Structure 1
Amino acid sequence: MNGNKWVRQIHRWLAIAFTVTVIVTTVALVQEEPVVWVSYVPLLPLALLLFTGLYLFVLPHAAKWRSRRDTARGK
C-alpha cells in the first residue's frame, strides 16, 4: 500500500475509534455519578481525524497543482 492508502485506512479506523469513544462517553455521562473527565476522551481521535481529513481533502487539489506545474514546464 502506498502512503495515501495508509492515510485513508488510518482515517477509517480513527472514525470507528471516535464513534466508540463518543458512545462510551455518552454512557459514562448519563450515570448517576458521572466522571466529567471522560468527556475529553473523544478529543484525541477527533484531532487525529482533523489532520488526516485535511490531508485527504488537499490531495486532489495538490494533484491538480502538480499537473499544472508539470504542464507549464513542458513535461
Structure 2
Amino acid sequence: MWIRQIHRWLSIAFTVAVTANIVAIALQMQAVWIGLLAFVPLIPLLATGLYLFALPYVSQRRVNEARS
C-alpha cells in the first residue's frame, strides 16, 4: 500500500519537474539542470511502477502454487 502512495507522490513530483522544464524552454532559459530535474523522480518512479505492474502476476502465481 505504501509503494502505491510513494508512486503517486513521485508522479506529482515528475509532473512538476516536466512543467518547470516546459516553462524554462518557453522562456528560453539555458539552465541544463532544469532539464535534468525530471530524472530525479523518474528513476524511482520507474522502479515503483515496475513493482506495481508485476505485483498482480506474482501474487496470482503464488495463489496458483498454493492450490497445487
Q: TM-score, normalised by structure 1?
A: 0.81
Unaligned runs of 5+ in 2: none
User: What letter is aligned with 2:51?
Assistant: Y
Is structure 2 residue 5 aligned with structure 1 residue 12?
A: no
Which amino acid is 2:64 matched to? R
Which consecutive residues of structure 1, in runs of 5 or more, have no partner in the other structure? none
The Cα of 1:31 is off from its aligned counterpart by 2.4
For 2:5 and 2:45, the matched residues in 1 are separated by 11
Runs of at least 4 residues off by over 4 Å: none
- 1:27 aligns with one of 23, 27, 42: 23
Deviations 1:7-50 (A, max 9, x none): 00000111100000111111122324421221011012111111
CA RMSD of aligned residues (A): 1.2
Q: Which has the higher contact order (CA 8 A, sep 6+)?
A: 2
The question of whether the paired residues in 2 share the 8 Å contact of 1:29 and 1:36 is answered with no
Q: If you compute each CA radius of gyration, which structure gives the higher value, 1 or 2? A: 1
Percent sequence identity over matched residues?
46
